[in-house]
Amino acid sequence: MKEESVNVSEATILDAARAVFTEKGMAGARMQEIADRAGINKAMLHYYFRSKEKLFDRVFQEAFQQFWPKIETQLNADMNPKLLIKGIIESYVELFLEKPYLPNFIISELTRDPERIEKLMQKSGVAPIQLVRYVKHQMEKGVIVEMDPRELFINVIALCIFPFAARPLISRIIWENDQDSYTAFLKRRKESVFQFIENIIFND
Report CA-CA distances (Å) from 73 to 84, 85, 88, 139.
10, 13, 11, 21
Annotate 110-125 with DSSP letters as a single string. HHH-HHHHHHHHHHTT
Look over the chain and give the mean of its residue pLDDT values, rounded to a whole number: 87
Predicted pLDDT of residue 116? 82
Residues 100/164, Cβ–Cβ less than 8 Å:
yes
* H or E stretch covering 167: helix 167-173
CA neighbor of 202 nearest in space, from 70, 93, 84, 88: 84
- Alpha-carbon gap, residue 142 to 194, rounded angstroms: 19
pLDDT in tens, 106-152: 888 888 888 888 888 777 777 788 888 889 999 999 999 999 999 99
Annotate 15-84 with DSSP letters as a single string. HHHHHHHHHHHHHH--HHHHHHHHTS-HHHHHHH-SSHHHHHHHHHHHHHHTTHHHHHHHHHTT--HHHH
- Alpha-carbon gap, residue 74 to 134, rounded angstroms: 11
Domains of the chain: 2-59 (1.10.10.60), 66-201 (1.10.357.10)
The pLDDT of 59-78, averaged and rounded, is 74
Identify which has the larger pLDDT, 204 or 184: 184
Identify which has the larger pLDDT, 101 or 182: 182
pTM summary value: 0.80
Give yes or no for residue 184 having a pLDDT over 70.
yes
Reported confidence tier of residue 67, pLDDT bands at 50, 70, 90: low
Give yes or no for residue 6 having a pLDDT over 80.
no
Residues 156/142, Cβ–Cβ less than 8 Å:
no
